[in-house]
């Protein structure tokens, strides 16, 4: 990739054509943790009222140390639906309804919810394309923040996220939504691997096999509204499946190997997906990690095939395997297994992922993640996970860029490229 092309601004319309051929600070006051549930908890604002946002907010409220007080979204129907749900949900916990004045709609909703004096922390679950902008606003307003993955869809956004991290350091909790790192089976397995259970790791494998999400047609919406509502189908708004969805497994691999990949060689295609939408139907990647470790990764998002998500590592003393549904184990000299085989998730693969409804090995992942976030605020031992979020995002971006260009790409090249994606949408129409 030449210096000129690496710093190129990629617009939505240009991108679609190319793809067709080939993306004041605060601390919660002590008085907030005393008294009744209605007035003692951390006051949370939800920015982005879709399925994942609803799940994140629910888990946060279920800690018993937080209450949802504000909502922000581009669209009124999503605000109304979220309010109806959370008013009923929180009423059972003695928490009053969300006030209408704390429902922020439109282009400036992210600024209004961030700067509200009634909000202590913000959960960001907007389309990934907007994460760097929204994260910067929340941090500037001095609010703690839980930002869903990925932190950005492009390298330029990663630079912005690291700037937000520097401004938040030591004063705010900035949490990134990689809940797998809080799932007890994986925590225990990785602890054992880091202690040498596998010996010297030689190679690894990860996979994320899934169906494609069936989103509403929105026949009465404008083209831009439909594009944003169904951002999951957009390469630019989502980052493509490897950045938006597969990042969970690549993040775990980085966690296990305590490093990011230094090179990637990849391929992708749209084959197997319906014609609508721009994102890939599959990815195949070979990652090169430090110390000569190689890792293969494969993903699909097609058809109605069963979900299977997992990873394996192979070392001089044994091997390991882990799954969303299935064994989490180590074999060889230091054999170990977490609680036997786990049952498959109920409710179907669609509910399993996009709505954040997790069972089996992930049952405690989200509850423990949200408790960790809330406790970091109340204790003053603030988290700052932005660097981890950027590292995993760039790891995925280098594979994506390799697939788009047909060339091997290095982490350093991706990190310093300055590439910026432009959705080419006039956001003022949603004011």
Same domain, 189 and 321: yes
Residue 420 inside a domain? The answer is no
Residue 377 placed within a domain: no
User: Contact 130/427 with Cβ under 8 angstroms?
Assistant: no
- Write the pLDDT tens digit of every residue in 30-60: 334 333 344 568 999 999 999 999 999 999 9
How far apart (Å, rounded) are the C-alpha atoms in residues 181 and 103?
32
Same domain, 133 and 238: no
- For the record, the structure tokens of 344 come out as 């498959």
Q: What range defines the domain where residue 216 resides? A: 183-360+385-415
Residues 127, 187 within the same domain: no
Element (H, E) at 38: helix 37-40
Q: Which residue is listed with tokens 């949370």? A: 44
Total tally of structural domains belonging to the chain: 2
pTM assigned to the model: 0.90
Mean pLDDT of 275-288: 92
89 plus 208 within the same structural domain: no
Query: How far is it between the farthest Cα atoms of the chain?
Result: 62
The answer to whether residue 342 sits within a structural domain is: yes
Rg (CA), the chain: 21
The CATH number of residue 134's host domain is 3.40.50.720
C-alpha span between 331 and 347 (Å, rounded): 32
Tell me, yes or no, whether 225 lies in a domain: yes
Residue 278: pLDDT over 50 = yes
What is the per-residue pLDDT for 9? Answer: 64
Whether 198 and 239 share a structural domain: yes
- The rounded distance, in Å, linking the Cα atoms of 312 and 320 is 5
- CA 401 – CA 414 distance, rounded (Å): 8
**pLDDT surpassing 70 at residue 355:** no
CATH of the domain at 221: 3.30.360.10
CA distance 398 to 155: 10
- Domain assignment present for 378: no
The reply to whether 169 and 190 lie within a common domain is no
Q: Please tell me whether residues 352 and 237 are part of one structural domain.
A: yes
Same domain, residue pair 223 and 271: yes
Rounded to 10°, the helix 386-405/247-257 angle is: 120
Confidence at 232, pLDDT banded by 50, 70, 90: very high
pLDDT score recorded for residue 303:
87
Q: Examine the domain organization and report whether 123 and 171 are in the same domain.
A: yes
Whether 305 and 354 map to the same domain: the answer is yes
């Amino acid at each position: 990739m030449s210096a000129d092309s690496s710093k190129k601004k990629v617009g939505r319309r240009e991108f679609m054509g190319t793809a067709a051929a080939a993306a004041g600070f605060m601390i919660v006051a002590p008085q907030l943790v005393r008294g009744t549930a209605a007035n003692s908890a951390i006051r949370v604002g939800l920015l982005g009222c879709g399925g994942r946002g609803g799940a994140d907010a629910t888990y946060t409220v279920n800690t018993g140390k937080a209450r949802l007080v504000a909502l922000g979204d581009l669209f009124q129907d999503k605000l109304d639906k979220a309010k109806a749900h959370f008013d009923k949900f929180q009423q059972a916990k003695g928490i009053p309804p969300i006030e209408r004045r704390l429902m922020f709609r439109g282009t400036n909703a992210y600024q209004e919810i961030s700067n509200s004096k009634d909000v202590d922390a913000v959960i960001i679950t907007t389309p990934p394309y907007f994460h760097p902008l929204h994260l910067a606003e929340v941090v500037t307003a001095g609010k703690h923040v839980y930002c869903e993955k990925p932190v950005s869809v492009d390298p330029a956004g990663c630079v912005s996220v690291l700037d937000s991290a520097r401004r938040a350091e030591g004063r705010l909790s900035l949490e990134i939504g990689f809940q797998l790192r809080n799932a007890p089976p994986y925590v225990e397995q990785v602890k054992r691997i880091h202690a040498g259970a596998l010996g010297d790791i030689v190679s690894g494998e990860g996979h994320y096999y899934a169906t494609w999400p069936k989103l509403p047609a929105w026949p009465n919406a404008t083209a831009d509204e439909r594009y944003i509502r169904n951002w999951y189908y957009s390469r630019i708004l989502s980052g493509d499946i490897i950045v938006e969805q597969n990042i969970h497994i690549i993040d775990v691999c980085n966690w296990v190997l305590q490093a990011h990949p230094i090179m990637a060689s990849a391929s992708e295609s749209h084959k197997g997906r319906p014609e609508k939408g721009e994102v890939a139907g599959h990815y195949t990647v070979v990652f090169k990690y430090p110390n000569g470790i190689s890792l293969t990764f494969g993903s699909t998002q097609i058809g109605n095939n069963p979900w299977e998500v997992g990873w394996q590592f192979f070392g001089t003393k044994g091997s390991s395997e882990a799954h969303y549904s299935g064994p989490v184990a180590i074999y060889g000299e230091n054999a170990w297994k977490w609680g036997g085989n786990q049952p498959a998730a109920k409710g179907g693969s669609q509910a399993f992922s996009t709505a954040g409804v997790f069972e089996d090995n992930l049952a405690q992942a989200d509850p423990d993640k949200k408790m960790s976030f809330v406790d970091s605020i109340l204790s003053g031992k603030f988290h700052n996970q932005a660097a981890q979020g950027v590292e995993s995002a760039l790891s995925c971006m280098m594979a994506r860029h390799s697939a788009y260009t047909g060339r091997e790409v290095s982490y350093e090249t991706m990190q310093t490229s300055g590439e910026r994606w432009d959705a080419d949408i006039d956001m003022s129409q949603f004011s």
